[in-house]
C-alpha cells in the first residue's frame, strides 16, 4: 500500500520523528481554513501517488492566505502523471539550509535491510546514483541485530553530512528503521531530510509503502487501504477479496498464485497478445472464488477472451474443475474461456470438465498453447 505524503508523515510522527504540522484539505475553502489555523507562510502540496509533483506545479509556497486560495484552486483537479489531485496537504513552511536523502528497503539478494543516505537530497535518488554514486552511503542491517547507534553513526559519517546534523540524524535514522520494521513497510523514504538554519534536522517529505499482507497485525491500516487508487474493476475485485490489477489489453487472466499470474501475463505478451488484467485467486479455486473472478473479468468490456491458468498444488485438480463448472452456472460469461489445468489431480479435473467443453470453454495441454489460443480468440473477436 502506497501512502500519501501526509499519511506517511502521520506514520513517521507515530514513531516520534520530527515532522511539520499540517492539515488535509479537499477544497479551496478547506485549504484556506487550514492555513488560517496553522498560520502563514505554508506550503500547498498536491497529494497523489506519484512523483514529480513539484515539476508539475503541484507544490507551491504560499506567503499569505490569498496565495493559498490561488494555489489551491490551481492544484485541485491538476493531472500529475495521470493522477488527478483530489486532496491537498497544507503544511507549515520550513526554512532550509541543507537537504539530505534517507531510506530503508529490503535487499533480497543480501537477505538484509538496505539503508541509503546521501548529503545530496531534494532530487531523485536515481539521479544521484547515476551522476555521483559515491554520494550515496549504504548500510546493510541484519534483521536479527537491528540498527545500532554505533552502526548508524558510522553510516551518517560515511555520508558526509554536516557534522552539526550528526547526532540528530543518528537518532532519526534509528527511528526510521524502527518505523520500517515494526510498521511492516516495504519502503520508507525521506527526501528531503533537512537541516534548518538553526541546526535542526527535520523530516520534510515522506514516501511510505506498507506490506498489505501485514494488515492483520495493524488494524489501523484500514484507513490507508481506503485511499488506495483503484479503477472500477479493481474496486470490484478488492471488494471480493481478489488480488487484481487492471491492465489495458483484451485477454482476461486468472491464475492461482502471484508468480503464476505474472508468468501468465508475460506469456500472453510473448505470443502477441495484451493482457487485460493480473488476477490471482490464491490457493483456493472453489466455485465461489472462481465465480467472483469470472464476474470481475466479465464486467470488463474490453475482454475478448479469458485465459484460466491453474497449476494444482494444495488445490487439487478436481476441486478446480468443480469450481469452474459451478462458476459457469452462476455467471453468464460472454467471452470464450481457454483453460490450462496441470499439477495435482489434473487428470481427474480434465476428465470432469470434458463433457462441458465447447466453443465457450476450451482446454489446452500447456500454458503456451492456451495463451496462443486465447490471444487468437481475442484477436478474432476484436
Q: Which tens digit of pLDDT belongs to each residue from 113-148?
A: 999 999 998 878 888 888 888 889 999 999 999 999
161-170, 250-259, 289-298: which has the highest mean pLDDT?
A: 161-170
Choose, from 23, 99, 189, 318, the residue flagged as catalytic.
189
What is the C-alpha to C-alpha distance for residues 191 and 207, in angstroms, rounded to an integer? Answer: 8
In three-state secondary structure terms, 365 is coil
Choose, from 6, 101, 177, 224, the residue flagged as catalytic.
101
In three-state secondary structure terms, 186 is strand
pLDDT, tens digit (0-9, with 9 covering 90-100), for 343-378:
888 999 999 999 999 999 999 999 999 999 999 999
As annotated, the residues of the chain forming the CATH 3.30.1490.20 domain(s) are 21-92
> Active-site residue 101, yes or no?
yes
Task: Compute CA 200 distance to the chain's CA centroid, rounded to the nearest angstrom.
Answer: 32
Cell numbers of 304, please? 475478448
As annotated, the residues of the chain forming the CATH 3.30.470.20 domain(s) are 98-222
CATH class of 232-381: alpha beta
Q: Are 341 and 312 in contact (CB under 8 A)?
A: yes
Mean pLDDT, range 31-53, rounded to an integer: 95
Tell which CATH classification among 3.30.1490.20, 3.40.50.300, 3.40.47.10, 3.30.160.270 matches the domain 21-92: 3.30.1490.20
Tell which CATH classification among 3.30.470.20, 3.20.20.100, 2.170.120.12, 3.10.20.600 matches the domain 98-222: 3.30.470.20
As annotated, the residues of the chain forming the CATH 3.40.50.261 domain(s) are 232-381
Q: Are 64 and 39 in contact (CB under 8 A)?
A: no
Mean pLDDT, range 306-311, rounded to an integer: 94
What is the C-alpha to C-alpha distance for residues 174 and 190, in angstroms, rounded to an integer? Answer: 13
Cα dihedral 150, 154, 155, 157 sign: positive
pTM: 0.72
Mean pLDDT, range 189-195, rounded to an integer: 96
Amino acid at each position: 500500500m502506497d501512502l500519501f505524503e501526509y499519511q506517511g508523515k502521520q506514520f513517521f510522527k507515530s514513531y516520534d520523528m520530527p515532522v511539520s504540522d499540517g492539515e488535509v484539505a479537499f477544497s479551496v475553502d478547506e485549504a484556506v481554513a487550514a492555513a488560517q489555523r496553522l498560520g502563514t507562510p505554508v506550503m500547498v502540496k498536491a497529494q497523489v501517488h506519484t512523483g514529480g509533483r513539484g515539476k508539475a506545479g503541484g507544490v507551491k509556497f504560499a506567503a499569505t492566505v490569498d496565495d493559498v486560495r490561488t494555489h489551491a484552486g490551481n492544484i485541485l483537479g491538476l493531472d500529475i502523471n495521470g493522477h488527478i489531485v483530489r486532496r491537498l496537504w497544507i503544511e507549515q513552511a520550513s526554512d532550509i539550509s541543507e537537504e539530505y536523502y534517507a531510506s530503508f528497503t529490503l535487499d533480497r539478494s543480501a537477505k538484509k535491510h538496505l539503508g541509503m543516505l546521501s548529503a545530496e537530497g531534494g532530487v531523485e535518488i536515481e539521479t544521484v546514483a547515476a551522476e555521483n554514486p559515491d554520494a550515496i552511503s549504504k548500510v546493510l542491517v541484519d534483521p536479527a541485530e537491528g540498527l545500532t547507534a554505533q552502526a548508524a553513526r558510522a553510516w551518517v559519517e560515511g555520508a558526509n553530512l554536516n557534522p552539526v546534523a550528526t547526532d540528530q540524524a543518528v537518532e532519526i535514522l534509528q527511528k526510521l528503521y524502527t518505523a520500517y520494521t515494526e510498521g511492516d513497510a516495504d519502503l520508507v523514504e525521506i527526501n528531503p531530510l533537512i537541516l534548518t538554519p538553526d541546526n535542526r534536522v527535520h523530516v520534510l517529505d515522506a514516501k511510505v509503502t506498507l506490506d498489505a499482507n501485514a494488515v492483520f497485525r495493524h488494524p489501523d491500516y484500514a484507513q490507508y487501504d481506503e485511499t488506495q487508487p483503484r479503477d472500477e474493476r479493481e474496486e470490484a475485485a478488492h471488494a471480493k477479496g481478489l488480488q487484481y490489477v487492471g491492465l489495458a489489453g483484451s485477454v482476461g487472466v486468472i491464475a492461482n498464485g502471484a508468480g503464476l499470474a505474472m508468468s501468465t501475463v508475460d506469456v500472453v505478451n510473448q505470443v502477441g497478445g495484451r493482457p487485460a488484467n493480473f488476477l490471482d485467486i490464491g490457493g483456493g479455486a472453489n466455485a465461489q472464488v472462481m465465480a467472483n473472478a469470472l464476474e470481475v473479468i466479465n464486467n470488463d468490456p474490453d475482454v475478448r477472451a479469458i485465459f484460466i491458468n491453474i497449476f494444482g498444488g494444495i488445490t487439487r485438480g478436481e476441486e478446480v474443475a468443480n469450481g469452474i463448472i459451478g462458476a459457469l452456472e452462476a455467471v453468464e460469461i460472454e467471452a470464450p474461456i481457454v483453460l490450462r489445468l496441470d499439477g495435482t489431480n489434473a487428470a481427474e479435473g480434465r476428465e470432469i470438465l470434458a463433457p462441458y467443453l465447447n466453443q465457450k470453454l476450451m482446454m489446452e495441454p500447456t500454458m503456451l498453447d492456451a495463451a496462443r489460443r486465447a490471444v487468437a480468440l481475442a484477436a478474432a473477436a476484436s
